[in-house]
Structure 1
Amino acid sequence: MFIAATAWGTGGAVAAMLYDVSGLGPIAVTFWRFAGAVALLALVALFVRRSHTIPQPAPKDRWRRIAITGTGLAISQATYFASIEFAGLAIGTVVAIGLSPILIAVGAHIFLGERLGRLGLLTTSAALAGLALLVVGGTVNPAPAPLLGLACAVISALGYAAATLANRHSTSTGPAGGYGSAVTSTLQGFAVGMVCLLPPALMEGIWPPTGDMGHTVALMAFLAAVPTALAYLLFFAALSVVRAATASVIALMEPVSATVLAALLLQEHLTVAALAGAAVLLGAVAVLIVGERRAAARRPVAAPEPMLR
């Protein structure tokens, strides 16, 4: 989960560089990101199928989950990249991911029957306080359209929450498939998302109009491999052993890594308040992990749970 969150944090920085290098818009960048991830995950799926028998949920539940996951990912990533373009990498990432724990916690309570508990409420509150400091502190650089960027970030959080809850529901109620099921779920979700993104990407302009094609392809390859295929594969696999609300708070490490990259690579310099927010956020994540491990040690041992290998 930590690797996934850290890898996600690189995606926004690469997308911001792609805007300058290629001239592509956020929807086209998201489409190529999904297309590359589908190609990579298809190769992984071929290897996994030769080594494992992958149980599947009932057809009705499986296709519903795939549709929600793919649509949620498409909306989440396209609007996330748009928020970066309009509000900047640090603020766009912080708001998009910062709203997710609230939406996921409410959704998990309503649809999955999960409870945050006292520790979960405290750590989530601390994490959101850190995010508030990041937003208030922000960067010293002016953004081109901050309000539009914030609106895109809110929509991104909604899509992310829907995809997370759909996959958590599948691992909670369906057969456990471990790593193999995670590969299949991630591949199918990105395939649906790619199809959803194709029409608007064609309207926006799907081919790079300017820039160095070699540089563009290299950035696209990294974007598809690390913060997309690898990160989401690890995240969805971890959902089989981590509660949805817990996963959402751990994933808040993404805005920390994105904010640091924004300062180092894009000259979006952080304020003192933003640095304090990052420290509070990391502390909340550390407390949550310790509490989750202690709670897991107190639970009675039942049937074996799928583990990420």
Structure 2
Amino acid sequence: MNLLPYIFVLLAGILWGTTGTTQTFLQEGISPIAVAGVRSAIGGGILLIAVLVMRRIHFKKWSWRWTILAALAIALFQCLFFTSIRFAGVAVGTVVTIGSSPVFSGIMEWVIFKRRPDRVWGMATLLAIIGCILLFANRGETEVHPFGILLALCAGMMFALYTNFSKRLTEREETLPSVAMTFTLCALFLLPFSGDGVSWVFEGQNFWPMLFMGIVSTSMAYIFYLTGLEKISSSSAVTLSLAEPLTAALLGVFLVGEYLSPISWIGVILLLGGIIVLTFGSGKAAKKTEKASSLE
């Protein structure tokens, strides 16, 4: 049973989960889209320089269609997600976005790519989504804003699209240049709409948190994610990425001093349960399939 791809995707989710805590070290009032654009520029730009030096990218033969689609999807995801939070609040926007992503990904695999998700994925996804809802319960945001919910659903769909597009991209290109090209293009799409420019990066203590988000929670995280994505289904990868809110919540408790209610701790347990079920259940299912095919 090869657990390594699942571990890579989990590591990606854990690194993404550090973003919220890291942003608390930035000066207040900076546009979230500006933060997203700059972290994409740092993460993608550093990797692009590296792959150019190593001569691991060939622009004439590059899979531009899948790269542009992946870059557009992840850029739209960030814009829609941050905007949904402004309308629906952090808790509701996060739950709807992150909770809907695995569902959208499973539907896309089934309808577009003719690959039906299995029962293990369904059970794990249900546990993880319920856990995510309970994790963000009792955050004091009871008002439901329909437009904010719609934006959050669109954000969830964009992340699912990004995952499926990236899987097609990594079937044709290496992981490192794929991440470099996708996030360099993503930065080019986002920065014109950031409003705050980039000069704020060098003000106060903003530089080091942004460098961390660019290198660790963007470059390293997406390298892990796409490396794991090469060996597992898109729907499984999106479900495992629910390690992000789990990590963010635990960091908030142990580093920032936030409070989690007993219901939220139940959500933590269910999220962990969903991740464990998917990681070990899918591995066993794959092993059985391999055994059955060898017997044939």
What TM-score does the superposition give when structure 2 sets the normalisation length? 0.83
In the alignment, which residue of structure 1 is the partner of 2:159? 160
In the alignment, which residue of structure 1 is the partner of 2:127? 126
| d(CA) in 2 for partners of 1:97, 1:31 | 20
The alignment partner of 2:260 has SS state of coil
Q: CA deviation at 1:242?
A: 0.9
Describe the superposition over 1:204-252 as per-residue Cα deviations: whole angstroms up to 9, x where unpaired: 222466x982411111111111111111111012111011111111111
Q: CA deviation at 1:193?
A: 1.0
How many pairs are equivalent? 283
* Paired residue type of 1:198: L
In the alignment, which residue of structure 1 is the partner of 2:4? none
> How do 1:213-228 and structure 2 match up within 5 A?
213-228=203-218
In the alignment, which residue of structure 2 is the partner of 1:305? none
* Paired residue type of 1:285: I
Q: Contact 2:135/2:265 (CA < 8 Å) preserved in 1?
A: yes
> Which stretch of the first structure deviates more once superposed, 24-33 or 8-17?
8-17
* Equivalent position to 1:247, from 237, 247, 250: 237
Q: Contact 2:109/2:117 (CA < 8 Å) preserved in 1?
A: no
In the alignment, which residue of structure 2 is the partner of 1:95? 96
Describe the superposition over 1:141-188 as per-residue Cα deviations: whole angstroms up to 9, x where unpaired: x699977655543332122111101122344xx44x5xxx11111111
| d(CA) in 1 for partners of 2:39, 2:18 | 13
> Which stretch of the first structure deviates more once superposed, 25-34 or 144-153?
144-153
| d(CA) in 2 for partners of 1:143, 1:205 | 31
> How do 1:1-309 and structure 2 match up within 5 A?
1-18=9-26, 21-46=27-52, 49=55, 62-83=63-84, 91-135=92-136, 137-140=137-140, 150-171=149-170, 174-175=171-172, 181-201=174-194, 204-207=195-198, 213-265=203-255, 268-300=258-290
Q: Structure 1 unaligned runs (5+)?
A: 302-309
Q: 1:87 to 1:260 in 2, by over 3 A?
A: farther
Q: 1:260 to 1:86 in 2, by over 3 A?
A: farther
Q: Structure 2 unaligned runs (5+)?
A: 1-8, 292-296
| d(CA) in 2 for partners of 1:220, 1:150 | 29
| d(CA) in 2 for partners of 1:48, 1:276 | 47
| d(CA) in 2 for partners of 1:268, 1:89 | 14
| d(CA) in 2 for partners of 1:183, 1:65 | 15
The alignment partner of 1:115 has SS state of coil
State, as a whole percentage, how many aligned pairs show the same letter. 28
Q: Contact 1:9/1:254 (CA < 8 Å) preserved in 2?
A: yes
* Paired residue type of 1:123: A
In the alignment, which residue of structure 2 is the partner of 1:307? none
Q: 1:88 to 1:49 in 2, by over 3 A?
A: farther
Q: 1:95 to 1:168 in 2, by over 3 A?
A: same
